[in-house]
A = this chain, B = another copy of it.
Amino acid sequence: MQRYFSNKKINNTFLLNEDDWYHINTVMRNKNGDKIEVVYENELYICEIKNNQANIIEMVKIENSINKNVCLVLPLLQEQKMSLVLQKATELGISEIIPILTERSKIKITDNSDKKVMRWQRICKEAAEQSKRLDIPKVYDIVSSFNKLDVEGFKMVCSTREKENTLKKVLKNNLNCDKIVIVVGPEGGLAPSEEDFLISNGFIPVSLGNNIMRVETVPIYLLSVLNYVME
């Protein structure tokens, strides 16, 4: 059954947005009487479609499977790579994404950055529906530099300079935290001054080993590993 997220409930009915109704009517070709899943405030409901309304039939009790709180601080990438990372990160259980402008980012902030963030948020919503999540990862507004980044939790930065602190070592000692924040670099890596700034602000530098990965592979790799070790 196809899943949709709603953020408004009126009596026994959920409001869905235009994109959802397009998907329901035109892509899925659902008819009156067909059933869909609707998630509202992290709870799952089975609903029946009637004249572009989603009427609640029943609430489904699901054991709490909300993911551990993982926040990815992601440099601006080409749109295609950005979409890939957002989609895969959502499948792999990410909870927050903070897009950031880095010294070596080739992509710049433009006037339509609000629209971009909305687009990224939509990608996460769709991926969350597909992977049957009960929550949608939150995409924050683009942060203009690391000294404007304000995050709490166990903080890591992927480093190519670091040799001692492997991911395995670091995770072994720090999995009992409430929230993990990971900074990955852009193509060309973080500038040494950026890495130094982060380290002096409590970020632990982490080596990802010998494999050389493309920029968009790094967050997918990291989130796969976190998913595995936290399972």
Contacts and interface: CB of A to CB of B under 8 A. Distances in A.
B231 A166 contact: yes
Contact of A168 (B211, B217, B231): B231
A32 interface: no
A220 to B, nearest CB: 6
Max count, chain B CB within 10 A of own CB: residue among A92, A225, A228, A231? A228
B210 A91 contact: no
Contacts of A93: 211
A78 to B, nearest CB: 15
A148 interface: no
A212 B90 CA distance: 10
Interface residues of A, number: 27
Nearest to A171: B228
Given A220-B220, A224-B224, A213 B91 contact: yes
Interface of A: 65, 84, 87-88, 91-93, 130-132, 166-168, 209-214, 217, 220-221, 224-225, 227-228, 231
Report the 4 A-B pairs with minimum CB-CB distance, sorted nearest first. A224-B224, A131-B212, A221-B224, A225-B228
8 contacts: A65-B210, A84-B84, A92-B213, A92-B221, A209-B227, A209-B231, A220-B224, A224-B228
